[in-house]
Structure 1
């Protein structure tokens, strides 16, 4: 179990996960280096806002926010958010990502991460029916007034029933092991 999973368990146990989510995320080395900061986290974790302030730490050669900073600001949020919105009977993984730059960002930019209760229920229903489900979650990096889009990131996320996933891994390992030539 990772440090972050332990913190999550404590937060859930004492019903303070929403209060821990922002400071733990912002101070974790994996995220703080992106130069982004979670600025809002709803009590139920369905909504998260991220701000990427433009600074000397993330300006590129042309004076706009470096694309790597944009991507790293978005990368972990939807998966970690979804892990915490679902219960422990699910496995959640990022599968892939696409990034589309629309225009240079020469100002602070923002991203909104929102999983509606209906969206969560749809994911649970699909996993119940199919045992696993893959979908694309889109995030836009925008100006403060949300009118200008600087970048669009599509994250492909995989969700599975944990028991199904463990069995799938076991079968894959058995198949792999049966192809190994033993001397």
Structure 2
């Protein structure tokens, strides 16, 4: 069964790691190019000094770019994995943090050029976590691994890249 944006949003919002940490997918665009996620500060996401725990801030960004690209490119034709990630903390998160994941036309065109030229792509995406006042609390950079599937041939590349 193929899930549309609304179905995937509902499923993710019931996923226990998101449910218990009060991570909520607010919206997914019909073309899969934009996704908005909120992390509410709660007893389970608060650290010793009362701000959002860094691990929760980071976990709230996973696996949205991967899912968006799988839906855009097609899971039957492409392998898409998170390859690397980095997090940069700018200020303590004392309120709800909102992430807006966007895949631009330019990024998608670059991915397709890479796939055509080399058979794989390693795009990097940046997402900022903004507090209620619009201040950047955290910036997360994700590197993804994308390649076209070989029909009927399963290889080590079908597994997550190391």
Q: Which bracket does the TM-score occupy, shorter chain normalised?
A: 0.7 to 0.9
Per-residue CA deviations over 1:71-108 (Å, capped at 9, x if unaligned) read 11002111111111111211101111111111100011
Using the size of structure 1 for normalisation, the TM-score is 0.78
Runs of 5+ unmatched residues, structure 2: 158-162
Give me the CA root mean square deviation. Answer: 1.9
- The answer to whether residue 48 in structure 2 is matched with residue 56 in structure 1 is no
Is it true that 1:44 corresponds to 2:36 in the alignment? no
- Mapped partners of 1:167, 1:132: distance in 2: 16
1:26 aligns to what? 13
Corresponding residue to 1:135 among 123, 133, 145: 123
C-alpha displacement of 1:116 = 1.9
CA contact (8 A) 2:100 2:128 kept: yes
- Output the TM-score relative to the length of structure 2: 0.87
What are structure 1's unaligned runs of at least 5 residues? Answer: 1-8, 12-16, 171-183
Structure with the larger RCO, 1 or 2 (CA within 8 Å, 6+ apart): 2
The total of aligned residue pairs comes to 155
The structure richer in helix per residue is 1
